Amino acid sequence: MASPYLPKLKLGAWSGEPVMPDRPQLAWLTIPHPSNHQLVASSADTESYLLLPDNDLLTVSFDPHPPHLGCSLDDVGRVRAWLERQADANTSVVDVKVIGWKGLRCVKSVVKHRASPPVYIATLIIPFAAFSFTVQIQATDEIWRGDDFRAKMIRSRLVHTPIPAKDRSLSMVHPEHPLETLGAIIPKHSSALVGTTLSDPSIRWADDERYDALFVEHPLSRVRQHMTRVLETSKPSLGMKKARQ
């Protein structure tokens, strides 16, 4: 899929360099405009775009209040627990990471909402002591019909994917496809054959980020791809870098 981003464009500024405001606000976060996009919402604190042709939704927002994580960013387990408390009964936390991004600490997460059709949401929270920024990318599973199809497609494509020898010890051979012949592997955990992890039955092995390259058109892969591009091409202002987290 071609990149939907063009470099060196300012969110909310189509030409020239905007004057950077002194107080925290949306303009403090520089994010490239999507090249194939449709603006669907804009306010002082929020901008949202549809990313064409898949109609994924990119939303960037500024909140004049901190996110109230209730724990240190050093404790990823408690950060995950906080996200799980925010989620409703039909939402599963797929992945949570605390990352360093251009001198700032951020919470990067992916959740899956079991609606009809399912929805995948990748979120980047940039927390500060007095305010926060959020980047959210949402993709709807309108074609692929949920987890089972993703797992089946990844299994099928693994058959034709060479596996480096150094990675084989970290995985188990799929019983239907001997490693010596076809090189097909799935993650190493006892429940892998039924497609769920030991820690959370609602999270399937095929949701693992390592398999996104085998199914780039799937909405879960797409939200991660979009978020990776945002992290690579975006830039915090000097005010953000100086603000206390």
- The tokens describing 185, both together, are 């592997």
Assess whether 153 and 136 both reside in one domain.
no
pLDDT digits (tens, 9 = 90+) for 111-158: 998 888 889 999 999 999 999 999 999 999 887 665 567 877 777 776
Question: What value does the mean pLDDT take over residues 34-38?
Answer: 79
Question: What value does the mean pLDDT take over residues 13-30?
Answer: 62
pLDDT digits (tens, 9 = 90+) for 80-107: 888 888 888 888 888 899 999 999 999 9
Range of the domain at 106: 26-143+218-242
Assess whether 162 and 75 both reside in one domain.
no
- Split at pLDDT 50, 70, 90, the class of 191 is very low
Q: What is the pLDDT of residue 138?
A: 97
- Distance separating alpha carbons of residues 9 and 6, to the nearest angstrom: 7
The size of the chain, in residues, is 245
Query: Does residue 6 lie in a domain region?
Result: no
CATH number at residue 225: 3.40.1000.10
Domain count, the chain: 2
Q: What is the pLDDT of residue 160?
A: 63
Q: What is the pLDDT of residue 172?
A: 45
Query: Does residue 202 lie in a domain region?
Result: yes
Query: Does residue 164 lie in a domain region?
Result: yes
164-187 b/e (C-beta count within 10 Å ≥ 16 → b): eeeeeeebebbeebeeeebbbbbb
Q: Can you list the positions of beta strands (E) in the chain?
A: 29-30, 37-42, 46-51, 56-63, 91-101, 104-113, 119-127, 132-140, 171-173, 185-187, 235-236
pLDDT digits (tens, 9 = 90+) for 55-82: 999 999 999 998 888 778 888 888 888 8
- Distance separating alpha carbons of residues 95 and 122, to the nearest angstrom: 9
Question: What value does the mean pLDDT take over residues 3-7?
Answer: 33
Q: What are phi and psi of 58, to 5 degrees?
A: -105, 125
- Distance separating alpha carbons of residues 127 and 106, to the nearest angstrom: 7
Is residue 161 predicted with pLDDT exceeding 80?
Answer: no
Q: What is the pLDDT of residue 17?
A: 42
Query: Does residue 139 lie in a domain region?
Result: yes
Assess whether 63 and 167 both reside in one domain.
no
Question: What value does the mean pLDDT take over residues 163-187?
Answer: 44
Question: What value does the mean pLDDT take over residues 28-33?
Answer: 82
**For a pLDDT cut of 70, what percent of the chain falls above it?**
69
User: Could you tell me if 243 and 129 are in contact, meaning their C-beta atoms sit under 8 angstroms apart?
Assistant: yes
- What's the chain's average pLDDT? 75
- Distance separating alpha carbons of residues 140 and 160, to the nearest angstrom: 28
User: Could you tell me if 58 and 226 are in contact, meaning their C-beta atoms sit under 8 angstroms apart?
Assistant: yes
